[in-house]
Amino acid sequence: MNRDKFPAPRLSDVARMERAVAEFLEAAQIQNERTSETPRRVVKMWLEHFIDGYGRKPEDIIPRLSPTKAKDLIVMSDIEVHSICPHHLLPYEINAHVAFLPDGQTAGFSRIAELVESRAHRLILLEDLVADVADVLLERLGCKGVAVRFDTRHGCMVFQGSPRKRTRVDAVALRGVFAHDKALAARVQKTLYR
Ligand SMILES: [Zn+2]
């Protein structure tokens, strides 16, 4: 189901989410004075930080572009965000690097970082997310090309312990000129890995 069109759940849905968390704890036979407020806290955390991306539209985050004279690469490094693995409902940490080649216009850098964050705050696999961010950025920035690299660490691997504990997973997506021009692709990849 595409939930992009639903900005915020109804109050009745929030209550239902809280009941589900309470039910989960009850079924696991974990209930004590420390967990009485847990369902409320868990749902608040999820709505505000894990799945708030479903209600955030790219055109609201970057509503307009401003002219730029920049003719060469713009590279943003170390955009630190997190996403949620849809298989295990566990967070993964992302250190995102974004490069683009403007075509006479650009957006504020914090808006670009916010766009990356909004796309990540959904239940989405890394390989789908990196492709999605590259596609959305190319479209919103109206630029000649976008390159995205996500360096990640996944809760569902880390918490299972050795030998996965320190594993990092790297994913790259190239769009526009970077997808077609090998020399440009090599150049932009260098900036993403420095
Ligand atoms: Zn997982």
Look at residue 10 in the predicted model and tell me its pLDDT: 78
pLDDT in tens, 55-84: 899 999 999 999 999 999 999 999 999 999
**Does 122 score more than 90 pLDDT?**
yes
CA of 73 to the centre of ligand 1 (A): 34
Look at residue 130 in the predicted model and tell me its pLDDT: 98
Look at residue 7 in the predicted model and tell me its pLDDT: 57
CA of 173 to the centre of ligand 1 (A): 21
Question: How much is the mean pLDDT over the chain?
Answer: 93
CA of 124 to the centre of ligand 1 (A): 10
pLDDT in tens, 13-61: 999 999 999 999 999 999 889 999 999 999 999 999 999 999 899 999 9
pLDDT in tens, 137-155: 999 999 999 999 999 999 9
d(CA 50, CA 10): 17
CA of 156 to the centre of ligand 1 (A): 5
Look at residue 52 in the predicted model and tell me its pLDDT: 93
CA of 157 to the centre of ligand 1 (A): 7
CA of 18 to the centre of ligand 1 (A): 23
Q: Which domains does the chain have, with CATH numbers?
A: 11-55 (no CATH), 65-192 (3.30.1130.10)
- pTM equals 0.92
d(CA 192, CA 80): 14
pLDDT in tens, 98-110: 999 999 999 999 9
3-state secondary structure the chain: CCCCCCCCCCHHHHHHHHHHHHHHHHHCCCCCHHHCCHHHHHHHHHHHHHCHHHHCCHHHHCCCCEECCCCCCEEEEEEEEEEEECCCCEEEEEEEEEEEECCCEECCHHHHHHHHHHHHCCECCHHHHHHHHHHHHHHHHCCCEEEEEEEEEEHHHHCCCCCCCCCCEEEEEEEEHHHHCHHHHHHHHHHHCC
